[in-house]
Amino acid sequence: MNDYQTTIKSRVTLAGTGVHSGKPVSVTFAPSDVDTGIVFHFIGGSEPGREIRALVSEVGATDLSTLLGDPAGVHVSTVEHLMAAILGVGLDNLVIEIEGNEIPILDGSAALFVEAIDQAGLDTQPVKRRFIRVLKDVRIESGASWAEFRPYSGTRFEIEIDFESRAIGRQQFAIDLTGDSFRNEVARARTFGFLKDVERLWAAGYALGSSLENSVVIGYDNRVINMGGLRYPDEFVRHKTLDAMGDLALAGARFIGCFRSYRGGHRLNAAALRRLLSDRSAFEIVETTRRDHGRIAEISAVSGPVFAPWAI
């Protein structure tokens, strides 16, 4: 992982279907200056030119996906897979030009976003990357679910899910995040759902773009009904890990620490991140100088800001 900030070398466009609207949508990735962060720029709709920064302070809803902005006004939904790809490949500064208010679902994973970024290429910029280093345990609970940050000499995710469905059951997955580990172990994991829930959402006017082309679907007999089966034996927990990566990418900078969760989701991920960033004794802003297999070897605290993610 580069110690310096990055952007992309050239513009690249992706087009597909919005999983909730069922309408055609497209996004274009464009290079951006240092210390810009990730910015969504609307080029159509009722307020062309409006921008929304990819920060947890902008999260407006977490019911079916992660939505930035005002759900009743200007917003962009289903950002989590794209944000996971941005985090996974190590991209810091990017303008995302968007038509409509939804990121295309593509194949339900982050893999095609990674391919688009690879096609554009990464350009190293002459400014050091800054990190949010976790200094102490921070935990949040909601019923039987919980999530927490812990100090760790790298960026690590430990995710556990527990479903009554026999097709899923209880699964655990842990990963030290690097470019290679993300690409090989997480990026291709698809979103999933139950046929009974999808049919209910369709009837209510939601998930209109959901299909077997972009989701792993579990039928009434508790079996995966997709003809190709699963991409990983534990694809369900790997996708929940991908979701967590995308949600935590809204910190405004990559974190140095371990994120753990049990029966988590978008709402819990956002709440845990807000809890961490609301406690200035729980983290510090640092720069790194060397790494070894994804773990941080040398760090130094800095006074410069990242993208003010704690303004929540």
Domain ranges of the chain: 4-128, 131-301
Is 107 part of any known ligand binding site? no
CATH topology of domain 4-128: Ribosomal Protein S5; domain 2 (3.30.230)
Identify each DSSP E strand in the chain by its residue range. Answer: 4-8, 12-17, 24-30, 38-42, 51-53, 59-61, 67-69, 75-76, 94-99, 122-128, 131-134, 138-142, 145-150, 155-162, 170-176, 192-194, 216-218, 255-262, 283-292, 295-301
Among candidates 3, 59, 127, which has minimal Cα distance to 265?
59
Long-range contacts of 295-299 (CB under 8 A, 24+ apart): 295/153, 295/154, 295/176, 296/153, 296/154, 296/256, 297/153, 299/131, 299/133, 299/256
Q: How many CB atoms lie within 10 A of CB 284?
A: 16
Q: Please report the pLDDT score of residue 300 as a whole number.
A: 67
Q: Please report the pLDDT score of residue 22 as a whole number.
A: 86
Among candidates 287, 282, 280, which has minimal Cα distance to 306?
287
Beta pairing class for 131-134 and 255-262: parallel
Q: Which two tokens stand for residue 220?
A: 């009434």
* Residue 81: strand, helix, or coil: helix
* Residue 123: strand, helix, or coil: strand
Q: Please report the pLDDT score of residue 200 as a whole number.
A: 83
Per-residue model confidence as pLDDT tens for the chain (312 residues): 578 999 999 999 999 998 888 889 999 999 999 999 999 999 976 678 899 999 999 999 998 899 999 999 999 999 999 999 999 999 999 999 998 899 999 999 999 999 999 999 999 999 999 999 999 999 999 999 999 999 999 999 999 999 999 999 999 999 999 999 999 999 999 999 999 888 887 787 777 788 889 999 999 999 999 999 999 999 999 999 999 999 999 999 999 999 999 999 999 999 999 999 999 999 999 997 665 555 655 666 675 555 444 343
Q: Please report the pLDDT score of residue 294 as a whole number.
A: 57
Q: Please state, for a pLDDT cut of 90, what percent of the chain lies above it.
A: 80
Is 243 part of any known ligand binding site? yes
Q: Please report the pLDDT score of residue 308 as a whole number.
A: 46
C-alpha span between 253 and 37 (Å, rounded): 8
Q: Please report the pLDDT score of residue 225 as a whole number.
A: 94
Amino acid at 85: A
CA distances (Å), origin 111, targets 82, 188, 276: 9, 5, 29
Query: 28: which residues sit within 8 A by CB, 6+ positions away?
Result: 11, 12, 13, 14, 96, 97, 98
C-alpha span between 135 and 138 (Å, rounded): 9
Q: Please report the pLDDT score of residue 309 as a whole number.
A: 43
Q: Please report the pLDDT score of residue 311 as a whole number.
A: 40
Q: Which two tokens stand for residue 131?
A: 């990190």
Is 293 part of any known ligand binding site? no
Q: Which two tokens stand for residue 267?
A: 């709402």
Q: Please report the pLDDT score of residue 45 as a whole number.
A: 67
Q: Please report the pLDDT score of residue 1 as a whole number.
A: 57
Q: Active-site residues: which are they?
A: 266
**Contact predicate 291/181, CB 8 Å:** no
When the candidates are 3.40.1080.10, 3.40.50.620, 3.30.1700.10, 3.90.105.10, the CATH number that belongs to 131-301 is: 3.30.1700.10
Residue with tokens 């995308």: 246
Q: Is the sign of the CA dihedral 257, 285, 247, 23 positive or negative?
A: negative
